[in-house]
Structure 1
């Protein structure tokens, strides 16, 4: 079994004018695809061949001699999750159980927004901002460097925002805060986050 580049959940121009077709073409078709090609080459003939991305990530996280395998596997996972974290009709606020949980754990939706913006803006260099469900059942905003993913720390990702420069530079140049604000106001897919939260709470209740 070899890894394949997953299709975007929308057309390449579907996020315009916020994220351009050109950005998605490079980001998905070049960057994401390169991680797929690299990982297939790295795992061929090794103990990781035929394993899932999640299994590879868990087995290689924090191991310097397996950094190449981890970085490419995690970047495939992170990017696939990121595409679904956005929607052509995104933005606004969550509803239902996730909205209630955000209010309970952050104090208000606005407080969550400020924390998420801060995580994205203060991630030095390349990385990701996340909304996760901790093992203790509380929501948390966190950030990770480069290819790192909260999944390998036992946290359940609900939503992510890519803050590598290639995610926004063609559209926003060096204005990362503007990209972050646009992500939250016009792109974020709360239905995806809510579905992830529902699945995580159902699993915890088993």
Structure 2
């Protein structure tokens, strides 16, 4: 039996929505209503909105969510997911955060500085996105929806210590660790990630 839930997938700093394609394909039979969100000016996509700042992009992404949704986010896409949960609590029914490396102060954590490497590899990513630093941690207690945290235990960009902190701060969060998972584990281990998401949604289906 298929679910009417809308799955809204958000990419990380690459802005490439195809990052989530394999996971979406796994979930599609039960959750056919989904969106792989593209970001204007990222990964070769046009920018007719002339978005020129991180705050403007965040507003635009959150504005695209117009129906009851589960937001599934990779890395810095987690900033948009958390903002959506804070700004649209009536629409965001659950979050899935994978390897989130944004939305909190990373100073206390031993994280690899990924920005220089990303600027070299992703020459079409706007500089203002790479440099964005957003701390939403004072608002985490307001997120009273189910949250699935998926992390890789070999991720130097967003180590498990960040996931454990989020699990403590978010009132209804559960954490699962992907063995040998690096920062792109959601793409590399799509079958495992899709399985965790599906079990999470089934578990909380009466709530969402």
Query: So what's the TM-score if we normalise by structure 1?
Result: 0.29
Q: Which has the higher helix share?
A: 1
In terms of Rg, which structure is larger? 1
Greater relative contact order: 1 or 2 (C-alpha under 8 angstroms, separation 6 or more)? 1
